[in-house]
């Protein structure tokens, strides 16, 4: 038996500060049409796809940043994407900043089915970086100033003939992200990211960015028997070089397709969702082999407690 889903990771090259949403949506429409011409059923765009990665700048009055956030989805600028996707019968996933009616600021991804209906909007759970201006840095990573962490957790939704999950950028580095979805039977996890290659707190990690990106998604896929689709906004954006290397990872942990450039590029794979069962039903048969009674500290404790302290 096989349940095939053809997925396209629609990597974006840099989006500069002055690029309008209309210009970015035009690039996304090109990728969507190209993906549809290759029979893609699901096109996955990156985190904060519609704008530059604005947390690299600090503003004293956060309302000065309001223009980076969407107030609804779809909206006037993104409606063409929704219309074209429905006309082509292609679903998509898009990451963006959301300022909601209650004034909350979220980093989100919305998943849209092939008929144009919204499956779900996921809010980023692990918010990296810092809360305050750090003027000595070459660039800021002030996500903790611009976004609240999600209170919702990690859902899994029936869509595209399988069980779909979402995570956003830094979420992919945390094994709990995958496991909570794994415990809901997830078969494909969609993840957009913006990862500056220069990691200011510890530059020794710079040359390892690509290795760590693959490491976390490959192990998360394998240990939970799920497909993972990782999609970058890469290249040099406002002087900051960001990792590309978008990829599709199989439930075996193998990379089955990977980007060659740091620009707009489609990374496509034909994914058999039934392949997940090979791992979920054997080595990672959770019900048979897991020992949750030994893992209680994972949910009762946040930081490290050393013996004797």
Question: Which spans of this chain sit near ligand CDT (rule: CB under 6 A)?
Answer: 47, 128-129, 141, 169-170, 173, 193-195
Catalytic option among 47, 70, 187, 237: 47
Strands 91-99 and 42-44: parallel
Helix (H) or strand (E) holding 280: helix 276-280
Closest CB 196 distance from ligand CDT, rounded Å? 6
Residue 51 or 195 with smaller CB distance to ligand CDT: 195
Q: Which residues contact 222 (CB under 8 A, 6 or more apart)?
A: 251, 252, 253, 279
47: annotated active-site residue: yes
Helix (H, G, I), strand (E, B) or coil at 126: coil
First and final C-alpha spacing in the chain: 53
- d(Cα 285, Cα 202) in Å, to the nearest integer? 38
Residue 11 or 195 with smaller CB distance to ligand CDT: 195
Closest CB 173 distance from ligand CDT, rounded Å? 5
50 vs 80, 190, 213, 237, 266, CA distance in Å? 13, 17, 22, 13, 17
State the sign of the Cα–Cα–Cα–Cα dihedral 147, 151, 155, 159.
Answer: negative
Is the CB of residue 233 less than 8 Å from the CB of residue 46?
Answer: yes
CA-wise closest residue to 266 among 274, 258, 277:
258
Closest CB 91 distance from ligand CDT, rounded Å? 24
| DSSP per position, 226-277 | -EEEEEEB-EEETTEEE----EEE-TTS-EEEE-SSSSSEEEEEEEEGGGHH
Catalytic option among 123, 143, 169, 191: 169
Residue 32 or 232 with smaller CB distance to ligand CDT: 232
Residue 40 or 65 with smaller CB distance to ligand CDT: 65
Residue 129 or 235 with smaller CB distance to ligand CDT: 129
Residue 55 or 251 with smaller CB distance to ligand CDT: 55
Closest CB 244 distance from ligand CDT, rounded Å? 13
Closest CB 52 distance from ligand CDT, rounded Å? 12
Q: Is 153 left (phi over 0), alpha (psi -120 to 50) or beta?
A: left
- d(Cα 132, Cα 146) in Å, to the nearest integer? 10
169: annotated active-site residue: yes
Catalytic option among 123, 124, 233, 280: 124
Closest CB 297 distance from ligand CDT, rounded Å? 24
Active site residues: 47, 124, 169
């Amino acid at each position: 038996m096989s349940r095939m889903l053809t997925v396209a990771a629609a990597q974006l090259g840099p989006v500069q500060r002055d690029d309008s949403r209309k210009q970015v949506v035009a690039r996304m429409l090109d990728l969507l049409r190209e993906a549809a011409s290759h029979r893609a059923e699901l096109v996955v765009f990156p985190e904060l796809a519609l704008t530059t990665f604005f947390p690299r700048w600090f503003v004293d009055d956060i309302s000065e940043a309001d223009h980076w956030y969407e107030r609804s989805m779809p909206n006037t600028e993104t409606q063409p994407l929704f219309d074209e996707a429905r006309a082509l019968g292609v679903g998509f996933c898009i990451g963006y900043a959301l300022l909601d009616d209650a004034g909350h600021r979220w980093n989100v991804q919305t998943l849209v089915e092939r008929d144009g209906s919204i499956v779900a909007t996921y809010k980023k759970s692990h918010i990296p970086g810092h809360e305050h201006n750090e003027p000595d840095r070459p660039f800021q990573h002030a996500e903790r100033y611009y976004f609240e962490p999600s209170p919702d957790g990690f859902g899994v939704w029936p869509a595209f003939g399988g069980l779909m999950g979402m995570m956003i950028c830094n979420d992919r580095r945390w094994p709990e992200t995958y496991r909570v979805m794994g415990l809901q039977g997830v078969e494909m996890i969609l993840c957009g990211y913006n990862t500056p290659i220069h990691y200011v707190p510890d530059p020794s990690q710079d040359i390892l960015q690509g290795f760590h990106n693959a490491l976390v998604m490959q192990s998360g896929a394998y240990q939970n028997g799920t497909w993972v689709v990782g999609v970058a906004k890469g290249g040099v954006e406002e002087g900051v070089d960001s990792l590309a290397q978008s990829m599709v990872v199989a439930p075996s942990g193998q990379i089955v397709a990977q980007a060659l450039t740091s620009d707009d590029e489609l990374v496509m794979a034909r994914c058999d969702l039934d392949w997940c069962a090979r791992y979920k039903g054997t080595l990672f048969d959770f019900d048979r082999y897991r020992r949750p009674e030994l893992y209680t500290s994972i949910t009762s404790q946040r930081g490290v407690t050393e013996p004797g302290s």
